Structure 1
Amino acid sequence: MEDSLRLQFGMAEVHFEQKRYREAAAILEVVVSEAPSNASARTLLARAYFHAAMLRRAEEQARELIERWPVDAYAHVILARSLQRQSRHDEAVPYLRLAAALTGDDDLLP
């Protein structure tokens, strides 16, 4: 990642830590568009969308993470939680089960 993108990512992290999720998401959208294979930026974008209650967008980013990195357990959790918050509980179950299998954390099981 080039220096300007690193700086933008750092700014987005600050916004996220200060619970300014929409501001973080706006910055991260640019970062992800410039560096689409950056898993850290895409994960933080999914989290920012989730916390900003932009659940469809969080779902889209989590699905993209899973498509690129199928064994990313956290992406499965983000997707499952996004689905649950949209009252799509049955759709969330397989993602929670897979996250539990990947991490060994049975607390994730529905």
Structure 2
Amino acid sequence: MTTEGTVEAFRRAEQLVSQRRPLEALRVLEPVISEVEDKPSVQLLLGRAYFFSAQLRRAEEAFRRILEFDPSDHYARLILGRTLQRQGRYNEARAQIRLATTMQPHDPAYQEALSEINAHIATKGA
């Protein structure tokens, strides 16, 4: 695939994820992954597509890979936390979301995510 084709496929996959059509996005991403698998932006899009298609273990792998590239990526930590939360792994989720919130303290979405998981743990336990 040419660089132009890779970029075009990536952009198309972004649109599909935004439209909540993750399975189609994953199909479009297949050739992109083989070309530029180690790019954090590709892993993020891949992880989001897996997340929205409820392939949570795969999503977790993609988000953890991003954090190998850049441990300070607050959004990857947030969405990894959400992924762990959906798997019922609340203490692990809280640790990731807490880190993300520390890195991005003025974003209400991060604060809400942390409050939500803290409330769950307080009422139902981990």
Q: Same fold (TM over 0.5)?
A: yes
The runs of at least 4 aligned residues of structure 1 exceeding 4 Å deviation read none
Structure 1 residue 33: Cα displacement:
2.8
For 1:30 and 1:97, locate their aligned partners in 2 and report how far apart those are by CA, in whole Å. 35
What residue in structure 2 maps to residue 16 of structure 1? 17
Q: Give structure 2 stretches of 5+ with no counterpart.
A: 119-126
Cα root mean square deviation, aligned: 1.7
Matched pairs, number: 110
TM-score normalized by the length of structure 1: 0.89
AA aligned to 1:89 is Y
CA distance in 1, matches of 2:36, 2:74: 21
Q: TM-score, normalised by structure 2?
A: 0.79
Deviations 1:44-98 (A, max 9, x none): 1111110111101100000000111111101001111111101111111110111
Three-state SS of the structure 1 residue aligned to 2:37 is coil
Partner secondary structure for residue 64 of structure 1: helix
In the TM superposition, what is the alpha-carbon distance from 1:2 to its structure 2 partner? 1.4
